[in-house]
Amino acid sequence: MAMPASEIEALIKAALPDAQITIEDLAGDNDHFAATIISEAFRGMSRVRQHQLVYAALKGNMGGALHALALQTSAPE
Amino acid sequence: MDNPVFAQIQAKIDASPVVLFMKGNPMFPQCGFSARVVQILKHSGVNFASVNVLEDPEIRDGIKAFSDWPTIPQLYVKGEFVGGCDIVTEMFQSGELQTLLAEKGVSQDAAA
């Protein structure tokens, strides 16, 4: 039940090519991450929609292989 | 709404102004994220109904398709999906949660 940060980043980058992504492994177990994602795609979107976009990019891994991913999403300033 | 569980979920959402789908119950949350949202709601002085998804695997999976949100807890205010633990925490810290509750006419003076 774990997923390396590199794989998370690759999945998100595939869906959001312009995204600036920083991922932190909170527990050192490849299972609890915090990610900050900045992408033009988020502009004008509610937080829920922004996070749903990221979960869609993770192709069903969220809640399965990936137990916890704290998300901070925003459009570029 | 072809999924029979959706109707069951919708009924629970419509039954109370504030509904929290969580793991465990407010007295005994079974998950840190669920516990945090319970704390935020209590701290905000909000009465809320809770649904223990651990007691009903159909709801536990159905809710994720219902809201297109892959994790638990899930908070609903007046039938609208607000978010999971991260979003509720962020909104609470920024004051957006209090604003949303006021806009929706949800009283915030229940005893903590």
What does the domain layout of chain B look like in residue ranges?
Answer: 4-103
For the question of an ipTM over 0.85, the answer is no
CATH of the structural domain B4-103, one choice from 3.10.20.740, 3.10.20.90, 3.40.30.10, 3.40.50.170: 3.40.30.10
User: Does B1 have pLDDT greater than 70?
Assistant: no
pLDDT digits (tens, 9 = 90+) for A16-75: 999 999 999 988 888 889 999 999 999 999 899 999 999 999 988 887 888 888 899 999
Predicted TM-score (pTM) of the model is 0.87
User: Does B2 have pLDDT greater than 80?
Assistant: no
Give the pairing of strands B80-83 and B74-77: antiparallel
In this prediction, residue A28 carries a pLDDT of 85
CA-based nearest residue in chain A for residue B96 = A47
Confidence of residue B46 (pLDDT cuts 50, 70, 90): very high
Measured between beta carbons, the chain B residues lying within 8 angstroms of A63 are 64, 70-71
Mean pLDDT of chain B: 94
Per-residue exposure over B19-30, b if at least 16 CB sit within 10 Å of its own CB, e if not: bbbbbbbbeebe
Residue that has been written with the tokens 């300033």 in this structure: A77
pLDDT digits (tens, 9 = 90+) for B56-88: 999 999 999 999 999 999 999 999 999 999 999
In this prediction, residue B111 carries a pLDDT of 72
CATH number at residue A48: 3.30.300.90
Confidence of residue B112 (pLDDT cuts 50, 70, 90): low
Would you call B69 and A68 a contact, using CB atoms and an 8 Å cutoff?
A: no
Upstream peptide bond of A4 is cis (omega within 30 degrees of 0): no
What is the rounded CA–CA span in Å between residue B111 and residue B95? Answer: 19
Q: Pick B64's closest partner by Cβ from A51, A63, A68.
A: A63
CA distance A71 to chain B (A): 7
What is the rounded CA–CA span in Å between residue B36 and residue B97? Answer: 14
Confidence of residue B95 (pLDDT cuts 50, 70, 90): very high
Domain count of the fold of chain A: 1
Helix intervals (H) in chain B: 4-15, 32-43, 57-67, 85-94, 96-103
Measured between beta carbons, the chain A residues lying within 8 angstroms of B84 are 51
Q: Pick B83's closest partner by Cβ from A48, A60, A68.
A: A48
Per the structure, the complete domain to which residue A62 belongs is given by 5-74
Other CB atoms within a 10 A radius of the CB of residue A54 amount to: 24
